[in-house]
Structure 1
Amino acid sequence: MTNQVTVLGSLNVDTTLRIARMPQPGETLSTENKSSAAGGKGANQAVAAARAGAQTRFIGKVGNDEAGRFMVESLKNDGIDTSAIVTDKTVGTGSAFILLDEEGQNSILVYGGSNQQIKPAEVTAVEAEIAKADFLITQFETPQAATLTAFTLAKQHGVTTILNPAPAAKIDPAILKVTDLVVPNETESAVLTGIEVTDVASMDANAVKFREMGVKNLIITVGSKGAYYNTEKYGSGFVPAFKVKAVDTTAAGDTFIGALSSQLTPDLSNVETALVFAQRASSLTVQGLGAMPSIPTFDQVQAAAKK
């Protein structure tokens, strides 16, 4: 059974600047390389879901510019339904500038552009698309008002909602009440709950806090260590990450969420198996350069599992 995944999210053209190390305040460094590729957290997650086998649709906004046309074509190339992407006539397509050092660590500056212009009415207009999904995924690179509308509609149609609260932000409490599964990293989780993530006990405490805020299921990604899960019906645990040499960590978290949604059952009953698949997909992404170019296909993840 193929999962139907709809992503409400951001579309950015990523420009990556490769540098030896991060600059100090006031310092000028020369870059070793410069490249551009399709990106944005939403787009990356949609591509990861599609490449991992999910039938994927996208709800978003681009500018009436070359970058916008490039982003739509990039999604179409991965078989993603782009019919719910709107063109904004006044604001340009989103962009991101990624500083990538020799250790594979990155710092990212994002210009929201048309991503920040998505209106609740535009989300309501594609209610039929949302209703078809098994999962609706969103992040915080688009307005929270649009997220609340989308998740509220999803719940009316029995669609499982996945929130990736990245970048970390003050959140409308109403969104959490219509979120089935929240997937932050350890920093984002601590921002939302006020509880620092240091060990399993603190992750359990985060899960309790999220339940108090209305979300019954939690996955915390902890970088190269792995992922913690805590579900209402299927218990909790920790799935270790696969040990690999990271070249570029850009889109690792996005790959994880997209790949997860392609394998997860809407009732989350196979959460541990789906997490292992998502971890493996993410471990392949960090071994390649660039966001979208390094996101693996289902066959590549399966091949890695046999090694």
Structure 2
Amino acid sequence: MKKVMVLGSTNVDTILGIQRFPQPGETLAMNSRSVAGGGKGANQAIAAVRSGAQTAFISKIGHEGAADFMLETFKKDGMNIDHVTMSETAGTGQAYIMVDEAGQNSILIYGGANQDITIADIHQAEADIKNADRIVAQFEVPVPAVIEAFKIARANGVQTILNPAPAIKNIPAELLAVTDMIVPNETEAEIITGIKVTDQASMQKNAEAMFKMGIKVVIITVGDKGSFYATPSQTGFVPAFKVTAVDTTAAGDTFIGALSTQLEMDYSNIEVAMTYANKASSIAVQTKGAQNSIPYAKDIQL
């Protein structure tokens, strides 16, 4: 059983079902509205614990009742939430997700309490970081906190996985220096390197650019096509499972969380781990919502 630490966001998602995305200045009626748990960090942590990892989570929420059902979900899945703390100044993060009839989404994020995660919070979690096999983080929380967590991890032989989302153009060199693996989607990869992803050759060029930044292993996810990988010794492409998508929310988070539970520390089974992660993601997109759509290991049969 892998020991996975996740540092990241907790959001309450408001999901708006629409026929199509509105044009500027246009008013459209919604088909549906629902509320569910979300946040990239929480999604990835839930995906990890549901795939059997011993999972701990560093996050921050507000005092309002909106966060209570999030904590109940974490507890129900058996997650270590010792380091999910409450902000004194901000409410729980919020996401407003528009999902069209083809299952594609557009998302607006209010950071809220997620932006209150500090270096002091990271130090409070230091013992659990040191005890992990790997730590996963994203950019929905302050970058200085991610840097500090990855520094502690690197100093203690803990593998670091960065999901650079939402993408930032100039990732601090200080963070890249302590990142073992990076997992962007095609849009995020282009923002980071300036190289547009159009085919496997361009994915390879992206990976080579990221290698020069100090990254050891690169995985680029490309939605319903699958995912590309590059390590110092091999490259390849793992195709997606063909399904009818209802809602792609949390697909990438499910992939990363599931991957973190299966990947050997030396990356020797990277294609098998990515196939498992692709399968988990393909299950998630067949249900509306984020965390409620994330599958358990028993449902992910290869």
User: TM-score under structure 1 normalisation?
Assistant: 0.96
What is the percentage of aligned positions where both structures have the same residue?
Answer: 56
For residue 172 of structure 2, what is the aligned residue in structure 1?
A: 172
Q: Does 1:189 align with 2:189?
A: yes
CA distance in 2, matches of 1:73, 1:149: 28
Amino acid at match of 2:231: T
Instruction: Report how far residue 300 of structure 1 moved.
Output: 0.3
Question: Within 5 Å, which residues of 2 pair with 1:113-128?
Answer: 113-128=112-127
Instruction: Report how far residue 173 of structure 1 moved.
Output: 1.9
For residue 209 of structure 1, what is the aligned residue in structure 2?
A: 209
Q: Does 1:154 align with 2:153?
A: yes
DSSP-derived class of the 2:13 partner: strand
DSSP-derived class of the 2:300 partner: helix
Instruction: Report how far residue 202 of structure 1 moved.
Output: 1.1
For residue 226 of structure 1, what is the aligned residue in structure 2?
A: 226
DSSP-derived class of the 2:264 partner: coil
Amino acid at match of 1:175: L
Instruction: Report how far residue 69 of structure 1 moved.
Output: 2.4
CA offsets per residue over residues 69-98 of structure 1, 9 Å max, x none?
222222111111000111111111101000
For residue 35 of structure 1, what is the aligned residue in structure 2?
A: 34
**Structure 2 unaligned blocks of 5 or more:** none
Q: Does 1:96 align with 2:95?
A: yes
CA distance in 2, matches of 1:133, 1:69: 27
Amino acid at match of 1:242: F
CA offsets per residue over residues 167-189 of structure 1, 9 Å max, x none?
11132121111100000001100
DSSP-derived class of the 1:269 partner: coil
Question: Within 5 Å, which residues of 2 pair with 1:138-153?
Answer: 138-153=137-152
User: TM-score under structure 2 normalisation?
Assistant: 0.98
CA offsets per residue over residues 32-90 of structure 1, 9 Å max, x none?
11100111000000001111111100001111111222222221111110001111111
For residue 258 of structure 2, what is the aligned residue in structure 1?
A: 259
Instruction: Report how far residue 208 of structure 1 moved.
Output: 1.1
DSSP-derived class of the 1:69 partner: helix
CA offsets per residue over residues 170-229 of structure 1, 9 Å max, x none?
321211111000000011001001111111111111111111111011000011111000
Instruction: Report how far residue 133 of structure 1 moved.
Output: 0.7
CA offsets per residue over residues 143-174 of structure 1, 9 Å max, x none?
00000000000001101100000111132121
**Structure 1 unaligned blocks of 5 or more:** none
Q: CA RMSD in A?
A: 0.9
Instruction: Report how far residue 266 of structure 1 moved.
Output: 1.6
CA distance in 2, matches of 1:8, 1:271: 23
CA distance in 1, matches of 2:173, 2:71: 32
CA distance in 2, matches of 1:272, 1:126: 32
CA distance in 2, matches of 1:236, 1:227: 11
CA distance in 2, matches of 1:39, 1:122: 21
For residue 78 of structure 1, what is the aligned residue in structure 2?
A: 77
